[in-house]
Amino acid sequence: MGAPGPGSPSPQEPAPPPPKRSSSAKGVPPATDLVLGATAGCLACFLTNPLEVVKTRLQLQGELQAPGTYPRPYRGVLRAVGAVCRADGLGGLQKGLAAGLLYQALMNGIRFYCYSHAEDAGWTRYPGGTVAAGAVAGAVGAFVGSPAYLVKTHLQAQTVAAMAVGYQHHHENIATAFRSIYRQHGVVGLWRGVTGAIPRVTVGSAVQLATFASAKDWVCERQWFRKGSWSAVLAGGMVSSVAVAVAMTPFDTISTRLYNQPVDADGTGKLYRGFLDCILQISHKEGLLGLYKGIGAVYFRLGPHTVLSLFFWDKLRDLVRH
């Protein structure tokens, strides 16, 4: 997910709608933002992918089982990192990296492209426009990138039998995963689980855009960091990520479960019939806290990933302008 840059106005501050501006007036056209957004997302993904692996394992652990009735090979973020390394080696922390990079390139590229168009059209200057534009752009990006996220989830869940959680798909790599899914279920199969992905990114983007600027200003008002500095952006991102993690983790857990579940010959899920059924089953069998599995990893990934994406995007934009 992304967020406004260091100098972006707070989305809560109403402003009169400006006349429509051309892309050239901003210096970076939307098509360029597509490439820059994709590149920034990939660079951030490379650094935060280990937490994505841990998050996926934690969310699949004890699937549809009552608390206390199943073994827990992964306990908390730090101990889960150690468990992954013991089971899969140090390289296990970068499982699914190729699929993750593809997802970030597609999702962030499309999202930044759509958001840049919304900025040029002046929509983000309306009250609530920033949140709405971010949510819609995020939803479009999530749909386009869904096949890559599906494969990423499969690959990150795979491990040795003694440490396995969730269904194991046994793909050799990203290429064989795409081929296997396509051969068995066609193009539609590649978008299996997208009903969980769109709400996940939409809610996450909306909450992040609604809280990021306010959190950053709050940090600066206390004079912890200089206004406009990247340390202030990082601190604001970490504060904002509390709200985002609380709002988004249930959707994230549902998305992981829908993507990873086994399916029958016609592509129908064997565990969940869809988004609402997944919510009901998790709540009934694992309790409401089952929806918040992996929240620690979600939080610790969100802040750095947000700020790294912004940082790389901003610096790349400066390079293009000059």
For 95-138, the pLDDT digits (tens) are 999 999 999 999 988 988 888 888 888 888 888 888 888 889 88
Judged against a pLDDT cut of 50, whether residue 146 lies above it is answered with yes
Instruction: Specify the amino acid at residue 289.
Output: L
Average pLDDT score over residue span 194-213: 84
Task: Report yes or no: 7 and 230 within 8 Å, Cβ to Cβ.
Answer: no
The arithmetic mean of pLDDT across residues 78-85, rounded, is: 97
Question: What pLDDT, on a 0 to 100 scale, did the predictor assign at position 6?
Answer: 44
Confidence of residue 231 (pLDDT cuts 50, 70, 90): confident
Q: Cα–Cα distance between 69 and 226 in angstroms, integer?
A: 50
Q: For residues 187 and 92, what is the distance between their CA atoms, to the nearest angstrom?
A: 29
CA angle 49–53–56, rounded 5-degree value: 130
For the chain, the helix, strand and coil percentages under 3-state DSSP, each to the nearest 5: 70, 0, 30
Q: What does the pLDDT read at residue 212? A: 74
Task: Evaluate whether 148 touches 101 at the Cβ level (below 8 Å).
Answer: no
Q: Is the pLDDT of residue 5 over 70?
A: no
Task: State residue 27's pLDDT score.
Answer: 59
**Residue 234: is its pLDDT beyond 70?**
yes
Give the pLDDT of residue 26: 52
Find the mean pLDDT for residues 65-80. Answer: 95
Beta-carbon count within 10 A of 160 CB = 11
**pLDDT tens digits along 10-27:** 333 333 333 333 343 355
Helix axes 77-88, 295-321, angle to 10 degrees: 80
Residue 44: strand, helix, or coil? helix
Q: What are the boundaries of each domain within the chain?
A: 30-321
Tokens of 79: 């101990």
pLDDT (mean) for 192-198: 94
* pLDDT computed for residue 46 by the predictor: 92
Give residue 93's identity as a one-letter amino acid code.
L
Q: Does the pLDDT at position 67 exceed 90?
A: yes
What's the CATH number of domain 30-321, 1.50.40.10, 1.10.10.10, 1.10.620.20, 3.40.120.10? 1.50.40.10
Query: How many angstroms separate the first and last alpha carbons of the chain?
Result: 26
HSE (side-chain half, CA atoms, 13 Å) at 22: 2
Q: Two tokens at 31?
A: 């098509």
**What is residue 197's three-state secondary structure?**
helix
| Radius of gyration (C-alpha) of the chain in whole angstroms | 20
CA distance 210 to 15: 15
Average pLDDT, the chain: 86
